[in-house]
Amino acid sequence: MHINWFKYSSPQTFYPLAGKMIPWFYGLAVLFALAGLYVSFALAPTDFQQGEAYRIIFVHVPAAWMSMFIYIVMAGWAAFGLALNARLSAMMAQALAPTGAMFTFLALVTGSLWGKPMWGTWWVWDARLTSELILLFLYLGFIALQSAIDDPRRSDRAGAVLALVGVVNVPIIYFSVKWWNTLHQGSTISMTAAPKMVTIMLLGMLFMALAFWMYSIAVALVRVRCIILERERSTEWVKNLFGEEK
Amino acid sequence: MMHWGSWSAFFSMGGYAFYVWFSFGITAVSLFIEVIALRNRRSEAIRLSRLLAQN
């Protein structure tokens, strides 16, 4: 099947398409969350070292994955918008930032709630925790910078530069547990070695990660539709969309 | 419940109830707040667009 992707690259054609996709992604998010919670609490066994406290992993790790993944996608859209001067790409980057910031915040808070009973402290300035905190500041900086500049084209460009510079932080977060001696444990799942964990625990994390992923797509689409309306309010197509229904 | 003897055992999470339920709770609350905030932003955006289109 041939799809003309360029047709959907304008806010005008993307707006109704996004509207149709949102309920599907919300639905998938709910299904994966139910499966993930069932595995997390009903199927996954008690950890022999950490008891029941380890169950925090089922929100902590997926939230941390999303915090990094969303940043990379956001920077990708920002770069695309910068290179091609594409309005919609810049809007997508803008739509992802608050959700990415939220998952970064959740990774930090749930990590803290896990650190207290296991390490005896809410916070340490080790490389993993510090670089994740920097990620939160990068998201907040991106949001603040974009909202501080009134002209949308200029604010898109400034935001894109910040997002791209900040990308270096993502591999630092990911490899921090290897490069430095951290209190934070090493990767549970490696792309090169067999997972060091029970399959059912892995499945729980996978379902929760998929739930967060689908949720992120859904809310980013809702937000990009808001941004489209806010920015293109005075264009003909928005006026036609809302003018008819008197 | 698969391996929990009782509901109270489930809720107490082997003594880690505060940490486990706070983690899942704050996650659920955050997602809920984001969805509600977006709903408000959307209705405001629609209200303003409609205002502009019909005047």
Q: What is the ipTM for the molecules in this complex?
A: 0.93
Q: Which of B19, B53, B35, B14 is nearest to A219 (CA)?
A: B35
What's the mean pLDDT in A28-47? Answer: 94
Question: A229 to chain B: nearest residue by CA?
Answer: B45
CA distances from A23 to A18, A35, A98, A99, B35 (A): 10, 18, 20, 18, 13
Which pair of structure tokens corresponds to residue B25? 């709770």
Residue A235, chain B, CB below 8 Å: the answer is: no
Question: How many Å lie between the alpha carbon of B44 and the closest alpha carbon of chain A?
Answer: 9
Only one residue has tokens 């390490």, namely: A119
The answer as to whether B32 is a domain residue is yes
Q: What average pLDDT does the segment B19-33 reach? A: 97
Contact A113 B19 (CB under 8 A): yes
Q: Are residues B54 and A98, on separate chains, in Cβ contact within 8 Å?
A: no
Q: If you average pLDDT over every residue of chain A, what do you get?
A: 91
**How far is it, in rounded angstroms, from Cα A27 to Cα A34?**
11
Q: Considering only CB atoms, which chain A residues are within 8 Å of B26?
A: 106, 109-110
Q: Which residues of A163-193 are buried (b: 16+ CB within 10 A; e: fewer)?
A: beebbebbebbbebbeeeebebeeeeeeeee
Residues 102-161, chain A, touching B (beta carbon < 8 A): 102, 105-106, 109-110, 113-114, 116-117
Residues A114 and A49: beta-carbon distance below 8 Å = no
The token duo for B43 is: 């209705």
Residue A191: per-residue pLDDT: 56
- The whole-angstrom separation of Cα A222 and Cα A226 is 7
Determine the pLDDT at residue B34: 98
Across residues A21-39, what is the average pLDDT?
97
Mean pLDDT for A78-86 is 92
% helix / strand / coil in chain A, to the nearest 5?
A: 80, 0, 20
Q: Is residue B4 in a domain?
A: no
Residue B2 lies in a domain: no
- Give how far B45 is from chain A: nearest CA, Å: 6
Q: How far is A135 from chain B (nearest CA, A)?
A: 18
pLDDT digits (tens, 9 = 90+) for A126-161: 999 999 999 999 999 999 999 999 999 999 999 999
**Which of A168-177, A219-228, B3-12 comes out lowest in average pLDDT?**
B3-12
pLDDT digits (tens, 9 = 90+) for A103-117: 999 999 999 999 999
Examine residue B22 and state whether it is found in any structural domain, yes or no: yes
pLDDT digits (tens, 9 = 90+) for A69-81: 999 999 999 999 9
What total number of domains does chain B contain?
A: 1
pLDDT (tens digit, 9 = 90+) per residue, A156-165? 999 999 999 9
Alpha helices in A167-235 (DSSP H): 169-179, 199-232
- The H helix count followed by the E strand count for chain B is 2, 0
> What is the distance between the alpha carbons of residues A36 and A205, in angstroms, rounded to a whole number?
7
Higher pLDDT, A199 or B36: B36
Look up residue A64 and give its two tokens. 């941390």
CB pairs under 8 A between A and B: 95
Residues of B in contact with A229 (CB under 8 A): 45-46, 48-49
Mean pLDDT of all residues in chain B?
92
Q: Does A239 touch chain B (CB under 8 A)?
A: yes
- Please write the tens of the pLDDT for every residue from A189-221: 665 655 666 788 899 999 999 999 999 999 999
